[in-house]
Structure 1
Amino acid sequence: LDEHKLVAQNRPMTDRIWMNIAPTLEKIMEGIKAQRILRERDEMRRKRLIVLDDVLREFGYTQPRGYIAPPAVDLAPMAPFKAIILDVPVDQGAIREHFNDVLPNLPSICDQFRAEQKRRLIQLVRAEYGQDADEDHLHLATSIFRCSQCSKTLIYPETLDHECCTYPGWLSTTPWFRWGGGLVLDKTRSSLMTSLLDCCGLDPKTTTFESLQELNPLVECQTCKTDDYGRVFIRWPELVCFMLYSYLICHFTD
């Protein structure tokens, strides 16, 4: 501010000069103060988010094997956490004790969040399987999703924790993110999976990824075979990566 043209003058500062420039300088100072408050608030939000992340990680350690606690950025927009992260005065810092009153309700809050995620995924598969589709359809081998933001191919339940489905912009002025907006059902790969299951004599309407892991079918890629290297056979675990992340033009036989 001391370098502002109204302040950095060669002539001495008099009461009259000050009276003339004071309103302008006060507006400038108010703007600087507002920016400082926003910076402090955003920094405190980030610190509290880190504390919440630690709380959720510790909660996950107490759950059965395989349980994945929702990320902090997913739960932060929910009412009890949002009030703590946004409304607690900045001068009270970022401490674990802020979340003590919420901890007893954490299991039900996490269940509620997961249920909402599943509901949105079910809405996606209903476009393919009809309005009677339910959670069981998420486990079908033909239920393959794609992230429209990063183009990554996903299957359930890894869709629940895909990094593009959380958005940290809420820490500043960005509106609260609505989960799952970037996921779509990958009809191309779903169709290919249907063909693969038909080759193996399996019913696409009932076959799940879990059952395929147990069956571990052996398939032959008709496209990749060459005179030099011969025929190409693939077992199920490798076939998943081969199909989901590589070639869509390949044709398979059992």
Structure 2
Amino acid sequence: MIFLKTQEEIELLRESNQLVGKTLGEVSKHIRPGISTLELDKIAEDFIRSNGGIPGFLGYGGFPNTLCISVNDEVVHGIPSSRRLEEGDVVSVDCGVVKNGFYGDSAYTFAVGEISDEVKKLLQVTKDSLYKGIEQAVAGMRIGDIGYAVQSYAEANGFSVVRELVGHGVGKNLHEEPQVPNYGRRGLGCKLKIGMVIAIEPMINMGARNVFQMADGWTIKTRDHLPAAHFEHTLAIRKGEADILSTFEYIEDRKL
């Protein structure tokens, strides 16, 4: 069942998602060679709690931490640990919070120091593919239009789309209907309606699209061990243009 949100509920969802954006911005200040992913996780948990939120991932389905932190060939769901980031790494940070009973969910992939031009392109194309999908996320369009936009853009740039993991509805639960694949055919899938709130989250691989789950039961890695990137926004469906509830401004304003 797809739950349509009232305007009041969307504003509560906006508050949750803005806190996610602020948390990612806080984490971004500390991403550098030598810091451990567990240290980043602690920074995020403290920031969320000090701003009136609850970590949305901690304990969700048994997940042990506040952030999913995935490095290099880890696509998503990486578990924070004593692993220290190194120059040239890329690190996807996926964050969820609960505030006022509603979830926020967003992700961003960071470069650690200098990375190769090819990996820079992977990150840029993945982020651009997210916005290509968002352009299609308006009332009257269909889920397949979003997936087609993401897939066609990523593949045209020589990259591949992970198919085993998808975006999703967001509300009082972290994962609601509908599922939002990053691949698809135009004109297929459920019709988008005003009041739907969804997370679009392209997971794009530099090499082949094949992935596998590690023995920890969470971490998803590329089979060819080439890097992957992951960007995610939560948004509300409107007429004409999507209303992006999450934000990258707290990350990107700092970069300027």
TM class by smaller structure? under 0.3
How high is the TM-score relative to the length of structure 1?
0.23
How high is the TM-score relative to the length of structure 2?
0.23
> Between Structure 1 and Structure 2, whose CA radius of gyration is higher?
1
Instruction: Select the structure with the greater relative contact order (CA < 8 A; seq sep ≥ 6).
Output: 2
More strand by share: 2
More helix by share: 1
